[in-house]
Structures are given as C-alpha cells and as structure tokens.
Amino acid sequence: MSSGNLPRTAHPDLFRWSADLDPDAYVRARYRVGSLHDAEATAIGMAIEQSAATTAIAGHVQPSMLVDWTIRVVSMHPLDPPEREAGVAPYHLATEVYADGGGAERHWAIELAIPRRLLAGKPAQLWNVVLGELPRLGFLTRFQLAGLELPAEFGPGPAFGVAGIRERFGVPRGPLLCRSMRPAVGLDIPTMAALNREVLEGGFHLVKDDELQVFADFEGFRAHVQAMVAARDAARQATGERKGYLANLICEPDELPSRWALLQALDVDAALVAPALQGYGTLAMLARERRMPLLAHNTGSELGSRHPDWGIAHPVLSHACEAFGADWMVTSGEYGAQDGVGLADAWPFGRPQRAMPILQGGKSPDGLPRFRAGVGNDDYMLIVASWVDAHADGVRGGARAFRTAVDARAPVA
C-alpha cells in the first residue's frame, strides 16, 4: 500500500473500536511511536496502512464489505519525549495530505485490534500484518512493536518445553549446562568431537553446534553429525548419564528436509534454527512434527529488537518464538548480568508447556545466584564455553567444577 493515502480516510469509523465488536475475534498489538501527526491521525493511519486503505470504489467496493476486516484503534495516549536524540528523519510524498497540518515529532502509545482473520494463524502473515509496511510510513520517526497479545492456541507452542527437556536429558532440577562448539570454524571433526566428549564427561548435560559452523554440502554435514553423536554416546557410556547433542539446522530451504531427516535417523537430541533468518514458519513446521526440542536461535534477531526506539521489543519476539514452537529461547544479552536484571523479559509467558530461557555470554559459577534471581527459578539453560575453555584444569576440569557448583545449589526434591 502507499502511505501517500494517509492519514485521511472517508470512513474513519471503520478503523475505530466499538463496543459491538467481539474482542475474541481480534489480536491486540501495542506500539510506541514518534510521529508528525496527532494521536488519532497516527493511529488511524497505521490501521489503514495494514488493512484497507481503499474503502469505497463506485460499483465495486462498499464500506460495509470491510467491517470485519479492518484494524481498529483501541486506545492512544501521549508519551513523554525520550531523552535520546530524535528518531529517523521523516519524509513526505507529493500526494500526502496531513489531517492536522503535520509538525514536530510527538510521541504516542497506540493499541490496535487486528482481526484474527487477517492473520490466518500463520507466522508469516502475523508479521506481514502486525509489522508489514508500518516502518516505511514517512510520518513515523520512531516505531516499536511493544506488545502483542496472541491467543493461547495461536501457533503450535513448544512440543516439549521445560518439562519435556528435563525428561529428555534426565535433569530433574537445577539449570542445564551446555557448551557451544568453539571455535566454530577451523577445527577438524576429530578435534571438535574430542572437545565435546571431554566437556560432557566432565559433567555438562549437553553440547551444541555453534550457529556459525559451516557445512558446504550434505556429506560434510553428515560426517560432522555422525562424529558428534558418537562423542555423545561415548560420554553416555563413560558417565552413565544421558548427555545430549544439539545440532545446527541453519541452512537453505532446499537443504532443510534432508538434514532434518538425518537428525532423526541418527537419534540427535535437539536442533537449533534461526527464525529471523529462516522464518518463523520454519520453526512452526518443525515443531508440529514433535520430533525433538527446538532452540530458536537469536542470530539476526537483535537487528530488530535491540534499539529501544525502532523494531520489536525483545519480549514480543520471545513470546512469538514460544508461540510458534520454540522449546528454548535465547534471552537478551544483559539478562542475568546484574542482580534483578531479567524480569523485563517476562519469563514465563504463561503457556502450560512453556519454553526454557537460555542465558549465554561470559557466564561463570559465581553468577548462579543472579541467574536464578533473573529467571525466578532454576528452569533455564546456561551456554558456557569461555570459562571452561580457559580453566586451569582444562576443559574436563572446568566442566567438572561448573557442574559441582550447579549441583551444590540445586534444590533437593
């Protein structure tokens, strides 16, 4: 659609909430925006852009046809100006007419009700409507999708979740320990397998492929996975614990079916995908098969979530990943870094089968009290590499020391 039509409409009531509408037929989305327009012009302009910019065409289109299809403005109120510098520069189209004359940047909180029929229960269509071309609108200088209330049945949800992960890896309590395979490039397969076996035998519960590992073709991928499964099995035999291996499924669409089938054939424990790169529909498709727990990796996602004035709030992305099948979700970088930091990410999200949060980035045993405080319990996974890699007693000794610290803090059943 063209923002040149906005923010005027001949039928504004089509875009306003009314008491006779069924709330259950809508999904609520909340936005924080900077705009050159007043609140109503901004909100109705956004609703028009993402539903029905054209409301009447003589002999063809009547406004009554659109009643159940238009996005409705539920609420709008002013926000205090941010202390940060101004957002992106606005622009004007030659056909654009300002309902209120335009002017300086103003800041609004806007809630829209989006007809569920526009979303069709599908991930791509969700983002196509809830975000779509809104960031393109020339009169918006700041834009954040700050909240999204999806119905409980929207998306498959985690196939395993916290309870399923604990059962699968035989860890009834306490956080899970996982080492990411690093360095991700430059190592031969035997060296990587030896590192995995040492850290698993030292006490870690599982190992994972790094998102940056490169598999040029299927044969290279198969050789890698086979070796990592063998290392896992050797660690299981040596320790009597279940141990796990989480494989990298970040690949091209035409590569996914054969790689996914291989993981199942080789009894791989879990897999990671990158919804920001591969699409949330890929995550949902795999989750519906209920073959193994899925980690929704964050690669690419912070481009849209880290800036507070532009993009998607991190809790919204986390909630969407959980809705569309993630069993693990990576928390934002500052999560658990300081006392009390983490609660803003809103774990848990409330689904009965909820995702398990992952904390990563320089984690060490002395942070365990902070991690528990941030999450609110011990239902999380730590991805640790640097601390064990640099340990004075080697990788195996470092893994053993971290596991000892975790077990010492784990509540007794």
75 and 101, same structural domain? yes
Q: Angle at which helices 218-239 and 189-202 pack, to 10 degrees? A: 30
287 and 230, same structural domain? yes
Q: Is residue 215 part of a domain?
A: yes
251 and 185, same structural domain? yes
Measured over the CA atoms of residue 36, residue 42, residue 46 and residue 49, the dihedral's sign is negative
257 and 402, same structural domain? yes
Q: Which pLDDT score, from 0 to 100, does residue 95 have?
A: 47
Q: Which two tokens stand for residue 350?
A: 């409330």
Domain boundary among 149, 173, 208: 149
170 and 24, same structural domain? no
pLDDT beyond 60 at 99: no
133 and 88, same structural domain? yes
Domain boundary among 149, 173, 188: 149
What is the CATH classification number for the domain harbouring 19? 3.30.70.150
Q: Is residue 353 part of a domain?
A: yes
pLDDT beyond 60 at 344: no
Separation CA 247–CA 224 (nearest Å): 10
What is the CATH classification number for the domain harbouring 336? 3.20.20.110
Q: Which pLDDT score, from 0 to 100, does residue 66 have?
A: 86
Q: What is the 3-state secondary structure (H, E, C) of 97-147?
A: CCCCCCCCCEEEEEEEEEEHHHHCCCHHHHHHHHCCCHHHCCCEEEEEEEE
Separation CA 307–CA 313 (nearest Å): 8
Q: Is residue 355 part of a domain?
A: yes
322 and 223, same structural domain? yes
Of all residues in the chain, the percent with pLDDT exceeding 70 is 90
Pick from 83-87, 96-100, 184-188, 366-370: least confident: 96-100
133 and 190, same structural domain? no
* Average pLDDT of every residue of the chain: 90
Cβ within 8 Å of residue 108, ≥6 positions away: 32, 33, 34, 35, 39, 42, 43, 76, 77, 78, 79
Full domain range(s) for residue 273: 161-409
Report the DSSP beta bridge partners of residue 329: 296, 357
Q: Is residue 156 part of a domain?
A: no
Q: What pLDDT digit, counting tens, does each position of 161-196 carry? A: 999 999 999 999 999 999 999 899 999 999 999 999
213 and 120, same structural domain? no
pLDDT beyond 70 at 120: yes
Q: Is residue 136 part of a domain?
A: yes
Domain boundary among 149, 175, 203: 149
256 and 397, same structural domain? yes
Q: Is residue 121 part of a domain?
A: yes
Q: Is residue 377 part of a domain?
A: yes
Q: Is residue 63 part of a domain?
A: yes
73 and 22, same structural domain? yes
285 and 178, same structural domain? yes
Q: What pLDDT digit, counting tens, does each position of 231-275 carry? A: 999 999 999 999 999 999 999 999 999 999 999 999 999 999 999
Q: What pLDDT digit, counting tens, does each position of 316-331 carry? A: 998 899 999 999 999 8
Q: Around Cβ 234, how many Cβ atoms within 10 Å?
A: 16
Taking the model in full, what pTM does it have? 0.92
Report the number of distinct structural domains present in the chain: 2
pLDDT beyond 80 at 52: yes
